Amino acid sequence: MRPKNTALNEIARYLTARDIWLDLNVADKRELFDAIGRYLEREHALSHDLVVTSLSRRELAGSTAVGEGVAIPHARVSGLERILVGYARLASPIPFNAPDDEPVSHVLVLLVPSPATDEHLTILAAATRLFSDRRFRDRLEVSADPDAAMQLFSTWSEGS
């Protein structure tokens, strides 16, 4: 049986410091998805258009904002060989059609192979729990660099 807090670290299994973007300057979802697509094309050889289209299509089905300034845009991507996770702390919050009507400043991106296994549901659930913790979000706000943010993702557990 897994310890209760292990699921939170599921995110750290797929996230690397190089896929953490602090103070990303975008004005809206379109610019956010474009920036994510450009980065993933450059660093992970994924098609920019495929990433943007996949994230946008999923967003049309319903907002991926979960409230409290957090969004978890996610999509299945054809041809992707492994799960990719990225985190962006935005320089300024952007509207995201959140259930609490609050703008978003924390974005955890999850791209999964198509067809996806149930593992992406585990990661989504872990992300929702993790980002619902105000202390975690506060610590992310003051993370000075991607390595510090990665350390936080890697070591945080419920009750930290």
Residue 34: the pLDDT is 97
Domain membership of residue 93 (yes or no) is yes
Each residue's pLDDT tens digit, 81-92: 889 999 999 999
Of 44, 74, 106, 120, catalytic: 74
For 113-132, letters b (16+ CB in 10 Å) and e give beebeeebeebbebbeebbe
pLDDT at 6: 45
* Helices (H), ranges, 45-96: 48-61
Is 57 part of any domain? yes
**Is residue 5 over pLDDT 50?**
no
Segment 110-128 shows an average pLDDT of: 84
String of DSSP letters for 107-142: EEEEEEESS--THHHHHHHHHHHHHT-HHHHHHHHT
Can you give the CATH number for the domain in which 83 is found? 3.40.930.10
**Does residue 6 sit within a domain?**
no
| Residue 131 is assigned to a structural domain of this protein | yes
Characterize the bridge pairing of strands 104-113 and 70-71: parallel
Residue 159 covered by a domain: no
Structural domain count of the chain: 1
- The residue segments making up the domain with residue 142 are 19-152
Residue 97 lies in a domain: yes
Specify if 56 maps to a domain: yes
Catalytic residue status for 74: yes
* Domain assignment present for 11: no
Cα–Cα distance, 47 to 125 (Å, whole number): 27
- 40-81 pLDDT tens trace: 999 999 999 999 999 999 999 999 999 999 999 999 888 888
